[in-house]
Chain A
Amino acid sequence: MTVTTPQIVLVGVLALLGVGLYGLLVIRNLIQIVVALQVAAKAAILALVVAGELSGQINLGQSLAATVIVADTIVAVVGLALAVQVRKRLGTLDVEALSTLKG
């Protein structure tokens, strides 16, 4: 059984998505949560391009991946701005400190 290039890249996509999800679930530092989100977004970019290559429409996959890159960058910018403001106002980057609404 020969392993093809899309199979290798898709295994990498699954692994990157797993690492990103693990970071989102476990990490408490706000800036590192943005890092984990970026890792998951890299997996989405790779998956879009490989899906485009498999369907014979790699340029369509590229245009969708470019949109994801822009959205991912904006999410990083806004997330980092929020983290900086949270650090300024609350003095910590812990997400637990954000839960000020107690039931």
Chain B
Amino acid sequence: MLYMLLVAGAIACAIQAVRAKRLFLSALWLAGLSALTAVILYAVGAREVAVIELSVGAGLVTVLFVFAIGVAGEEALHARAIVPKPLAWALIIASSALLGWMFLPSLNGEAPSAESTFASALWQERGLDVLVQIVLIFAGVLGVLGLLAEARAPAENRAMAKAPLTPAEAGAAPSPSPVRATPEEVHA
């Protein structure tokens, strides 16, 4: 019963996150979905991943969404969908039915007992995955730089506009690309 409630809540949060008209609400529903996913993972027995999902999915990603929405601004699009909705529903039902047909018969199999610890599974058996994660984190740092460039560029432009000009330029007509003076030139 607990699992049913958790899964139903997660599905409701997902539907609201996709249907919400305001982007802030969509981000908040997504945070709720992440929190419920973490609870389901904890209940299933995946405690380490539950903690990671709660901190990263419900924390970091939500902060990133709110920041990006604050920079980009709200924009509600009411235009027609690119893919017709009946076609989208048909594709989703077909793919879900195919996945269910593949998954559900395998639920009755006996589980082999060749268990290793989480640390050995992560650092030894899946060591290559850790290297890939490091590369991905570098890509993420570049992405954050791209995200912050929006907020930083206007401040840099204002600082450039306030920088003092050389004495010759101060008396001359404004040029399209003025050369900034060094502090020594200004004092001289």
Q: Do A and B make up one complex?
A: yes
8 Å CB interface, A6-34 against B: 6-12, 14-23, 25-29, 31-32, 34
Question: In the complex, are the beta carbons of B103 and A10 less than 8 A apart?
Answer: yes
The chain B residue sitting closest to A7, CB to CB, is B107
- For B10, give its contact among A12, A77, A81 (CB under 8 Å): A12
* Residues of chain A at interface, number, CB under 8 A: 74
Q: How many A-B residue pairs have CB under 8 A?
A: 259
Which residues B77-112 have CB closer than 8 A to chain A?
77, 79, 81-83, 85, 87-89, 91-93, 95-96, 99-100, 103-104, 106-107, 109, 111-112
B100 contact set on A, CB distance < 8 A: 10, 14
Contacting residues, chain B, for A84 (C-beta < 8 A): 68, 71-72, 146-147, 150
| Prevailing SS type, chain B contact patch | helix
- Residue-wise, chain B 1-45 has the 8 Å CB interface mask toward A (1 for contact) of 001100100110011011000010011001001100100110011
Is B33 touching A32 in the complex (CB atoms < 8 A)?
no
A57 to B150, alpha carbons, bound, how many Å? Answer: 45
Question: Residues of B within 8 Å of A, CB-based: how many?
Answer: 87
List which A26-83 residues lie within 8 A (CB) of chain B. Answer: 26-29, 31-32, 34-36, 38-39, 42, 45-46, 49-50, 52-67, 69-74, 76-78, 80-83
Partner of B137, one of A52, A62, A70, A83: A70
State A14–B11 Cα separation when bound (angstroms).
10
Q: Which label, helix, strand, loop or mixed, suits the secondary structure of the A interface?
A: helix
Name which residue of chain A comes closest to B80, CB basis: A28
Q: What are 13 A-to-B residue pairs whose CB atoms are below 8 Å?
A: A7-B107, A8-B7, A22-B18, A25-B83, A29-B75, A38-B34, A39-B14, A39-B18, A58-B45, A59-B121, A69-B52, A78-B146, A83-B68
Q: Which residues of A contact B (CB under 8 A)?
A: 4-12, 14-23, 25-29, 31-32, 34-36, 38-39, 42, 45-46, 49-50, 52-67, 69-74, 76-78, 80-85, 87-88, 92-96
Residues of B within 8 A of A (CB): 3-4, 7, 10-11, 14-15, 17-18, 23, 26-27, 30, 33-34, 37, 40-41, 44-46, 48-49, 52-53, 56-57, 60-61, 64-65, 68-69, 71-73, 75-77, 79, 81-83, 85, 87-89, 91-93, 95-96, 99-100, 103-104, 106-107, 109, 111-118, 120-122, 125-126, 129, 132-133, 136-137, 139-140, 142-147, 149-150
